[in-house]
Structure 1
Amino acid sequence: MSNHTMFPAGAVKFGITPTGWVNDDFPDIDIGIPFGQIVSEMALAGFEGCSRGHKYPTDPVILKRELDMRNLKMSEPWVSTYFTINEMYQSTLENFDREIEFIKQMQSGDLVLAELGGSSHQQPIALVPNAPKFNDDQWKRLADGLNTLGHKANCCGVKMCYHHHMGTGVMTMDEIGRLAELTDPDCVHLCLDTGHLHFAGGNNLEFINLYSDRIKHVHLKNIRQDVMNYSLDNNLSFKEAILRGVFTVPGDPAGCIDFKEILQALADKDFAGWLVVEAEQDPAKATPLLYAQMARKYLREVIGL
C-alpha cells in the first residue's frame, strides 16, 4: 500500500454499481443473485456506497435501512431523460422530481443522468452506427431541458451530473463538447465514465483537462481492448459487447485503461466526490465479489485509501 494518499482525507468516496451482479439495461443477464447478497458483497469488498439497481427495494425507507445495516450510502440513482423525442418533456420532469425526492430520503447521492432519446444501446442493433445524431433543434431542447433540471437540482442541494454514454447522442468528445458549450456549468455538471469515453474513441486525460471544473462524479470502468475492437469491427450491439466481456474493473490485468494516470490527473485538479467502480459483466463468467475485491484492492494500492 502507498505511504501517501493521492486525495486529501475525506475528498473522495468509493462506490460500486450492481452491474457486475445483475444488469439494469438487460435484466436477463442474471444468475439469480438476490438484493441482500449484492449489497452485502459490496460492503464485504470494502466499498462505502453503491448505485441503485432494479432488484433493490422500491421503498426508500426499507432500502436505506438495508444499506445502513451494511454501512453503505447511496452514491447515485440513474435518471434517463427524453428531451430529444416527442411528447416526453413533462414525463421527464416528473420522473426527475421523483428522483430528487429519492435522494432526499436516502440522505446521500448525486443525480447521474443521460439523454436516451433515440439511443441504440438498449436495442439488438449495431451500437455505434445507430447512435442518434441530434439536429440543432434537438440540441437546443436537450440543453434547455438539462439547464431546467440542473437549476432544480441546485435548489435542492443535489449535484446533477451528465453521463456521456455509448449509443446515445452524447457519446463522442465532439458531442460532449457541444453539450458542455450549450449548458450552464453552474448546474449541469459532468460524470466522467472512463470506459464509455475510451469505447467512443475519446481520451480520458483530455476530458479531465478540458472539464475538470465540471467533473463532479466519476465511473471507473475498464475495457478489454481486444473485445472492444471486435465489437466495433463487427457492429455488435451493446448487449453482445457486454456478453463478450468488453467491460471489466480497474485492477484487472486484462483491462487496457491506465487508471493511475487518470486518478492522478483527477487529484491534481482537486476532484472531490464519488469514485464509482462500474463494469457491466456476465456474472456467470466474472464472479461479482471477486471482481469487486479486485477493484477495491487496486484502488487502495493506487490511491492509498
Structure 2
Amino acid sequence: MFDQSKVFLGITPTVWTNDDFQSLGDDIGFEQCISEMALAGFQGCSVGHKFPKDPVTLKAALDLRGLRVSEPWASTYFTIADMEARTMASFQEQLAFIKAMGGTDIVVAELGRAVHQQPVSLLPNRPVMNDAEWRLLTEGLNRLGRIARDEGMRLCYHHHLGTVVQSRADVDRLMAETDPEVVFLLLDTGHLLVAGDDPLAMTRAHANRIKHVHLKDIRLDVWHAVQARHGSFFEGVMAGFFTVPGDGVIDFRPILQTLSDHGYEGWLMVEAEQDATQAHPLTYALKARAYLRDVIGW
C-alpha cells in the first residue's frame, strides 16, 4: 500500500503520558515510554513533557532504540491580542528543535480561546471565529508556512476538538484561505469523527494537502455517554472515548488506501489520549501495531 522508504509509522507519548493533563501517566518515566515504543515496533514518536529538551541528549536516547522524532507541537495565538510575538518566538524555537532532530514536519494549532483544557462541556463551548479572526489566523499561518518552507520544513495544521478549527467546515475554510504551497493539513481521524464529520470524506477532499496523520480511534458509545452528561474533554479522556486504531469504530483501511492512492509520504502516527492505569500502554501500542501491520502489510 505504501512505500516503506517514504512512509513511517510512529506513536505519540499520549498512550503513556499526557501534556494537557500531566497527572495522567505521571509514574511512567521517559525511558520506559520510548523503550516500549520501540518494543512495539514503531519507528518514531512525537515529543512529550518528560522528554529531554536538549536535542543531543534526546537524539542519543532515541538512536539507542532506533527511533526518530516525527514532529514537535507549536501552539499559535493569532486570534488573541498581543500574542503574536510569543507565537512567533515559540514557533522559531520548535522549528530549530525539529531541524536539530533531523525532522521535516512542524505541527501547529490555534489555541486562542480553546476550551479542551477547561472543565466545560466540549462541543457547545468551542470557540467560533468571526471573519476578522479568520484573516488573522490564515495570514499568520501563511507567514509561518513560508518561514518553515524557507528552512526546508513543512507546516502541518492540526484541527482539534475544542478549538477554532474543529469541524470539516472549519478545515475546508482553512484550506481555502491559506496558501497551498506552504500550509498543509494534519489529518486527525478521532478529532474529526467526534466533531461530527466523516474522516474518510475529508481525506478524499483534502488528500493532496494532507502531509501528516494522527491515527486515533473512537469508542462512540463512551463518547455519547460523556456528551449526555455534558462532560469535558478531560472527562472523555478519563472515560476512554479515545483509543488506538483497531479498537474503536473507525475503519482505517479506506482512509489509508486513499492516502496511498494520492502518493502520501510522511508519518502515520498512532495516537490515543488515555489513562494508563486503565489502558495498559504497551498492550495498546502492540494492538495498534498489529492492526496496522494487517492493514498496510508491514
TM-score surpassing 0.5? yes
Which residue of 2 is the match for residue 212 of structure 1?
A: 207
Aligned: 1:94 with 2:89: yes
Aligned to 1:285: 278
One-letter code of the match for 1:265? T
Q: Following superposition of structure 1 onto structure 2, how do residues 196-275 of structure 1 map, counting pairs within 5 Å?
A: 196-252=191-247, 255-275=248-268
- The alpha-carbon deviation at position 11 of structure 1 amounts to 2.6
Shift of 1:86: 1.1
Give the partner amino acid of 2:286. Q
Which residue of structure 2 lines up, in the alignment, with residue 130 of structure 1?
125
- RMSD over equivalenced CA pairs, Å: 0.9
- TM-score by structure 2 length? 0.98
Q: Is the 8 A contact 2:104 2:152 kept in 1?
A: no
- Distance in 2 (CA, whole Å) between partners of 1:111 and 1:129 is 29
Q: When the two structures are superposed, what TM-score results if normalisation uses the length of structure 1? A: 0.96
Is this contact kept in 2: 1:162–1:189, CA < 8 A? yes
Secondary structure (helix, strand or coil) at the match of 2:123 reads: coil
Aligned to 1:10: 5
Structure 1 residue 8, shift from structure 2 partner: 2.4
Provide Cα deviations, 1:224-247, integer angstroms capped at 9, x if missing partner.
Answer: 010111222322110000000010
Instruction: Kindly indicate whether residue 161 of structure 2 is the aligned counterpart of residue 166 of structure 1.
Output: yes
Q: Which residue of 2 aligns with 1:3?
A: none
CA distance in 2, matches of 1:303, 1:109: 23
Whole-angstrom CA distance in 2 between matches of 1:45 and 1:22: 16
Deviation at 1:88, TM superposition (A): 0.3
Mapped partners of 2:181, 2:197: distance in 1 = 24
Deviations 1:37-84 (A, max 9, x none): 000000000000000000001111101111111110000111110001
Alignment of 1:121 onto 2:127: no
Q: 1:76 aligns to what SS in structure 2?
A: coil
Out of 272, 294, 297, the residue aligned to residue 301 of structure 1 is 294
1:65 aligned to 54, 60, 63, which one? 60
Mapped pair 1:21 → 2:21: no
Q: Write the distance in 1 (CA, Å) between the matches of 2:3 and 2:87.
A: 37
Deviates more, 1:41-50 or 1:201-210: 201-210
Counterpart in 2 of 1:145?
140
Structure 1 unaligned blocks of 5 or more: 1-5
- The answer to whether the Cα contact below 8 Å between 1:73 and 1:109 also exists between their aligned partners in 2 is no
Distance 1:88 1:230 in 2: 37
Structure 2 residue 103 is the aligned partner of structure 1 residue 108: yes
Amino acid at match of 2:40: A
User: Which amino acid in the other structure matches residue 167 of structure 2?
Assistant: T
Name the SS for the 2:282 alignment partner. Answer: helix
Provide the rounded CA distance (Å) in 2 between the counterparts of 1:151 and 1:115: 17
Q: CA deviation at 1:297?
A: 1.0
Q: Is the 8 A contact 1:128 1:235 kept in 2?
A: no
**Structure 1 residues 96 and 31 mapped into 2: Cα distance closer, same or farther (>3 Å)?**
closer
Question: How far does the alpha carbon of each residue in 1:227-278 deviate from its partner, in whole angstroms, 9 at most, with x for none?
Answer: 11122232211000000001000122xx000011211111122111100000
Unaligned runs of 5+ in 2: none
Residues in 1 aligned to 2:226 and 2:115: alpha-carbon distance in whole angstroms: 14
Of all paired residues, the percent bearing the same amino acid is: 53
